[in-house]
Amino acid sequence: MAEVSILNYGIGNTGSIVNMFRKLRVAASVVSTPESVSEAKRLVLPGIGAFDACMDALQRSGLRDSVLEFAAAGRSLLGICVGMQMLTLGSEEGDMPGLGLIRAYTRRFPALAGLRIPHMGWDTVRWVIPEHPLAGNLTHDSRFYFVHSFRVRCESAANSLAVCAYGGEFSAAILSGNIAGVQFHPEKSHRFGLQLLNNFSTT
């Protein structure tokens, strides 16, 4: 059985994520059925594009309930980019509800003079909970690759694993028990992304 399963619901960079785990010599597979999700040890929920499009695709794939059941079983779930936003209660980008696994909201970046939207490129994150397993061997100067026009704000600071400053501080990584998400793309973040994915593979 693969150590990590990447969910294929029609949206997301599944191939790039699999390749990163291969570099780490971690057995990874792409899954697309309720049965394969139920058998997974660890699950990655990728997402790119618009929030509603991702939520709609997840619903139409018949895998939404499988993701919720996986999370309820206490196994490790990692959302990436829009996949992280999908873990929240909802997004100002659309009308569909999120999975509601973490009490947080996805909001637009503020309209500030000189602030370019989307937030795109390399940026530094600050680990609010540096002792968390996902943050292992990642220092406060670790840099990740971002591409997003909406940002996540948690209801409770206890759910914010890492923050980034761009038009104000926002959550670059969130968590609640066995559930976590990262706004950046670890599969595009070279050695820092490899370290984070390696950390996830051992949670």
- The beta strands (E) that lie in the chain are given as 4-7, 28-31, 42-45, 76-80, 104-108, 119-124, 126-127, 143-148, 150-154, 160-165, 169-176, 179-182
Could you tell me if 63 and 70 are in contact, meaning their C-beta atoms sit under 8 angstroms apart?
A: no
Say whether 174 sits in a helix, a strand or coil.
Answer: strand
Could you tell me if 63 and 71 are in contact, meaning their C-beta atoms sit under 8 angstroms apart?
A: no
Measure the CA dihedral 115/111/53/85, to 10°: 70
Catalytic residues: 81, 185, 187
Residue 118 burial (CB < 10 Å; 0-12/13-18/19+)?
A: exposed
